[in-house]
Amino acid sequence: MSDGHFTVGVDIGGTKIAGGVVDDAGGVIARARADTPHRSTTPDVVENTIVSVVEQLFTQVAKEQVTAVGIGAAGFVAADRATVVFAPHLSWRDEPLQSRLVGRIGLPVTVDNDANASAWAEWRFGSARGEDRMVMVNLGTGIGGGIVLDGRVELGRFGIAGEFGHMQVVPDGLRCECGNRGCWEQYASGNALVREARSLMTAGSPMAQDLVARIGGDAAALTGPLITAAAQDGDPTACELLSDVGRWLGIGLANLAAALDPGIFVIGGGVSAAGDLLLDSAREAYRRQLPGRGYRPEARIVAAVLGNDAGVVGAADLARHREEVAATVVPSSAPEAAPGLTAEVDEGAPPRSRLWWRRRHTG
């Protein structure tokens, strides 16, 4: 049960800003949301929207019961957990988000990448509980990724670790919006699934008959969930399209295993709703592609379980985690620990405080 104090998580996506008040067991006890302002608007407009979502939450749960606010944003977040270096869907470029929000919200604020927040949530409360080394891969319009190692999110030197979607899997392959060719997310994502289905339809292939009937012939109306629904109804073409995405997923996961050797891969994002229609072929391709296959243990590949809540829960729980770790670090080891630097206290925390936290939370 809850320890009586809460943290707020705010998940900033391409279309919506979702907020929640979260307890120490990962339960969401209040919610609020708003549309994400268009990327042409100024940073002020986005920040006003975040503040209004948080204020809506404080009408449901007393602010005195909330100890910190965590923001999860789609974009590059600097290792200081305070600055958004680049957000493709927003106007943020080197945006000092934390310092701009702290004064307005009146609580400690930390900023994370949204996929890192989701990974943390799945590790703490979802399908990766009990695993010391997990990799999360979110299949949405593109691919988001996060790594949790030994009870902490792996940020990389500059805060930008886990951008798996832009690993090259096909030399000279399809052009990606990042500027390169052959990126993983061009082959294993919701966009890839829809693109392939559309190309079958526009080619007039009889294979696409069922899909065409479902959308009245309007290729623009095709979506990932619709293809998944067709596959679940047994349409062999939709099954094949999902299986193709799964195969590319498995190939990329084998590459990640070569680099990171995790115990579990958690697959989230909209496409993961297809479950084993996607994951069976991913597992098969993974086994076939794994370096040294047959001579090494294999990581499990499982679906995420927290769904759309993962971003909110993870951002809130990371904020809680940082507050708790900061509170346990002896002052002499962190004399400068201002709110803006709690992330550094966290990431550089001596083993003692991490062990304390793990005892308390993984018990």
Interface residues toward Zn ion, by CB under 5 A: 166, 176, 178, 180, 183
Q: Please, what is the minimum distance in Å from the beta carbon of residue 143 to Zn ion?
A: 9
226 torsion bin: left (phi>0), alpha (psi -120 to 50), beta (else) = alpha
Q: Please, what is the minimum distance in Å from the beta carbon of residue 166 to Zn ion?
A: 4
CB nearer Zn ion, residue 163 or residue 344: 163
CA 233 to CA 63: how far, in whole Å?
A: 47
Q: Please, what is the minimum distance in Å from the beta carbon of residue 167 to Zn ion?
A: 9
CB nearer Zn ion, residue 163 or residue 309: 163
Question: Using CB atoms within 10 A of its CB, is residue 283 exposed (0-12), middle (13-18) or buried (19+)?
Answer: buried
Question: What would the DSSP string read from start to end of 209-271?
Answer: HHHHHHTTT-GGG--HHHHHHHHHTT-HHHHHHHHHHHHHHHHHHHHHHHHH--SEEEEESGG
CB nearer Zn ion, residue 41 or residue 180: 180
CB nearer Zn ion, residue 67 or residue 180: 180
CA 358 to CA 361: how far, in whole Å?
A: 5
CA 219 to CA 335: how far, in whole Å?
A: 60
Q: Please, what is the minimum distance in Å from the beta carbon of residue 168 to Zn ion?
A: 8
Q: Please, what is the minimum distance in Å from the beta carbon of residue 184 to Zn ion?
A: 8
CB nearer Zn ion, residue 87 or residue 183: 183
Q: Calculate the alpha carbon distances from 262 to 42, 132, 175, 307, 357 in Å.
A: 40, 8, 29, 22, 22
14 torsion bin: left (phi>0), alpha (psi -120 to 50), beta (else) = alpha
Q: Please, what is the minimum distance in Å from the beta carbon of residue 178 to Zn ion?
A: 3
CB nearer Zn ion, residue 249 or residue 302: 249
